Structure 1
Amino acid sequence: MTTRVLLVAADRQAREGYLQAVAESEIACETLESLEGLRRTLEKTAFNGLLLDLPTLVRSDAAAKKLVSKVQDIYPTVRLRWLPERQQVRAIVAGGQLDPGAPLTDFIDRYCRPWRARPLRQAQRMTTYFSVLLSNRPDFPPEATEKTNTLDLSEGGCFIISSSPWEVGSRAWVRIMELDDDTPMEVEVRMHRPWGAGKKLPGLGVAFLNLLPGQRMRVEALLGGKGLGQRK
């Protein structure tokens, strides 16, 4: 099946530069000149990833930026800047590093191809109670590691039950023991619910920053009904 990505870039020269950079990857690349049609395009077409021009994103309104924040938790996403004086692409992906010589090719091969394409409307969240190790350090020292459980799981992240204080925007590391590959995953805290708030379980909503291909495919299999859990 052909890998399909969506490129959003307002500047014509930058857009053409990005398209030239992905030409050798033999993928399908649709383009938008603004974020205005992003939701509509994602809802009608299945994509494997998003290519977002950073200047276009910066000039967008708050609603568009909020949508980008949502969809980048669902799709592999790279932020781009075109350097016209060098005829080069600079690319940034959350939680990882790309080949500086061919960043878009690297992003497509390592992030987009292993990820099953889907339209936005199919994004779903599944109730799960997986065993998790949670830490603010990547080496998981006992004094800074909490044994807990997830409450739900989605393609882009999960909610982890915890009464510990966490700051939104901070980084954490988790190991989900039910995954075949429980390699530590770096996550970003997107929301925090303190103990006693709203008569709901306390915890933190996190976005995955560096899922390995095997972990991503396992999450997809679980959400597709091939594992334990209840879809919402």
Structure 2
Amino acid sequence: MPKFVVVANSEAVIKTITDVLQADGADAIALSSLAELPAILREVPVNGILLDLVTSAKATAQEKRETNELIQLYPHAKTKVIDHEVKILGNSSSFQHFIQECRSFTPRVIRRGSRQVRFIGFLLSTDSDFTDADKTVTLNISDDGCFVYSTGEWKAGDRVWLRFSENECVVQGVVRWWQPWGNNKRMPGIGIRFEFSQA
């Protein structure tokens, strides 16, 4: 069952959105502010985030700074409830269409370690011999993994090898999630979790 985070400081808005989600076979976690979002995303795998327009507009500058990057990692939409109907703002698709799009997103939690925006060139391959490797670059990296630019077709669980050009270091990893090219105006690529062998 897909799971969504609903951020709204109005019980009536939360109830309306939650009712529509449940009628469509989805589950909801209700939060009253953006400040609560990071803790939930570290613990609970979710398919998407729904932000009430009024709640989002009233959030403090610090709350917006701390959550904006996290929100971009998930399918998300700003919503407005009008006469018990949920409207998606800035998007021509219906609320039900947005829910369907989110069903194809692999639910995940955010990493606990800090992530750095770093553009590091490397070869990406589906085999350890690098027979058919792509030249690409990291967009961000942490101790546990990285997000890399790729327009290829991937699926969660694919095994990959990375050979970094600076030092020829080879790292093995697993694709955790895939952002297809041309989807929702987001950077195409894959989230990779590093796998280090025990010495």
Amino acid at match of 1:219: I
What's the C-alpha RMSD, in Å, of the aligned pairs?
Answer: 3.8
Residues 175-223 of structure 1: per-residue CA shift (max 9 Å, x gap): x55x139xxxxxxxxxxxxxxxxxxxxxxxxxx898539x999724xx2
Asked if 2 retains the 8 angstrom alpha-carbon contact of 1:43 and 1:121, the reply is: yes
Amino acid at match of 1:35: L
Asked if 1 retains the 8 angstrom alpha-carbon contact of 2:7 and 2:34, the reply is: yes
Select the residue among 57, 72, 92 that pairs with 1:97: 92
What is the match of residue 26 of structure 2? 27
Select the residue among 76, 87, 97 that pairs with 1:106: 97
Q: Which protein has the bigger helix share?
A: 1
Asked if 2 retains the 8 angstrom alpha-carbon contact of 1:128 and 1:153, the reply is: no
Asked if 2 retains the 8 angstrom alpha-carbon contact of 1:180 and 1:218, the reply is: no
What is the match of residue 67 of structure 1? 66
Amino acid at match of 1:108: I
Asked if 1 retains the 8 angstrom alpha-carbon contact of 2:148 and 2:190, the reply is: no
Asked if 2 retains the 8 angstrom alpha-carbon contact of 1:3 and 1:47, the reply is: yes
Amino acid at match of 1:152: T
Structure 2: gaps spanning 5 or more residues: 124-134, 141-146, 155-178
1:180 aligns with 2:153: yes
1:122 Cα deviation from its structure 2 partner? 6.2
Asked if 2 retains the 8 angstrom alpha-carbon contact of 1:114 and 1:217, the reply is: no
Change (3 A) 1:79 1:46: same
In 2, the alpha carbon distance for the partners of 1:209 and 1:91 equals 22
1:79 aligns with 2:78: yes
Count of residue correspondences:
153
Q: Structure 1 segments of 4 or more deviating over 3 A? A: 122-130, 208-213, 215-218
1:82 Cα deviation from its structure 2 partner? 1.2
TM-score, with structure 1 as normaliser: 0.54
Change (3 A) 1:109 1:180: same
Change (3 A) 1:54 1:128: farther
In 2, the alpha carbon distance for the partners of 1:64 and 1:210 equals 30
In 1, the alpha carbon distance for the partners of 2:181 and 2:99 equals 14
Change (3 A) 1:58 1:69: same
In 1, the alpha carbon distance for the partners of 2:180 and 2:87 equals 19
Task: State the identity as a percent.
Answer: 18
Amino acid at match of 2:106: R
In 1, the alpha carbon distance for the partners of 2:84 and 2:31 equals 21
Give the structure, 1 or 2, with the largest relative contact order (CA under 8 Å, sep 6 or more): 1
3-state secondary structure, aligned to 2:62: helix
3-state secondary structure, aligned to 2:42: helix
